[in-house]
Structure 1
């Protein structure tokens, strides 16, 4: 029993050493270094942090025309989409208005996505490329719908035939 109570040399040595020397020995650092040895790869260029956003010059009609145009196109799509099928009239002018509103609505929606997800300060070349790509697709869609309207049955008649097929 006396040998258990008597302190061992290892216990005396651990009590004699100060705590700071144990922490300075870097116990277990080799495992952490091996885990963090991979290099960091930047996908996007670094963005400045905590810089104040520049405020543009204010103008009473700066964004109101754009917002009003978006709302008018969205609200105009509802009756123009329902009217040809509800009234039974398949008018080429109604088809042209419907196609124009669809193209404008799609263009404005994709343009808003490009503006939101590809900021010009961070990726200017990508944003410019995507804007030109959007313009090309918008023009291609408009020409395709024009050809479908003039050389085929038209959009509303084509949808009616698909619905009844």
Structure 2
């Protein structure tokens, strides 16, 4: 870092403070000790059509947009009483555990699906996007089967959380 400011210090020492100017070859980089290197290369830059082409209007889909957002909020709000009720009642109810497990899986899947949608655009990364969507679906099914197995063959979700909390 000292080498970054070396030519600046010579310049500061030779001129008064009112006339400080940096030389053209001087680089001032705060908090950097090496050259700037990009971690990942930028994605492919593709222009479809010309400047005068209209933007294509997507087909309406009830699974996206405001209905999708309302469903996400409904699941998020429904998880609040599902998380509190088993512990407030003091008993483990298999139906409540099943509802909580289902809500957890749906809530997680929707959240990770939004991440995949945001970070892997279909136009820039079509194959990687498809792979990530299928990876998410596989992980969701694996978690759902694991929670079902834990619910039916072991103590259940809320009893498991109680035991871990007291451990």
**TM-score when normalising by structure 2:** 0.67
Number of paired residues? 125
Distance 1:71 1:58 in 2: 21
Q: Deviations over 1:89-131 (max 9, x none)?
A: 2100000000000000000000001111111011110110000
Q: Call closer, same or farther: CA 1:80–1:61 in 2, change over 3 Å.
A: closer
Partners of 1:152 and 1:94 lie apart in 2 by: 15
Larger Rg: 1
Higher helix share: 1
Q: 1:138 to 1:61 in 2, by over 3 A?
A: closer
Q: Is the 8 A contact 2:97 2:156 kept in 1?
A: yes
The structural deviation recorded for 1:58 is: 4.9
1:39-50 aligned within 5 A: 43-48=42-47
Distance 1:108 1:145 in 2: 17
TM-score (norm 1): 0.68
Structure 1 counterpart of 2:130: 128
Would the aligned equivalents of 2:44 and 2:124 in 1 still touch at CA under 8 Å?
yes
**Residues 104 and 118 of structure 1: is their aligned pair in 2 closer, same or farther, counting only changes over 3 Å?**
same
Conservation of the 8 A alpha-carbon contact between 2:82 and 2:100: yes
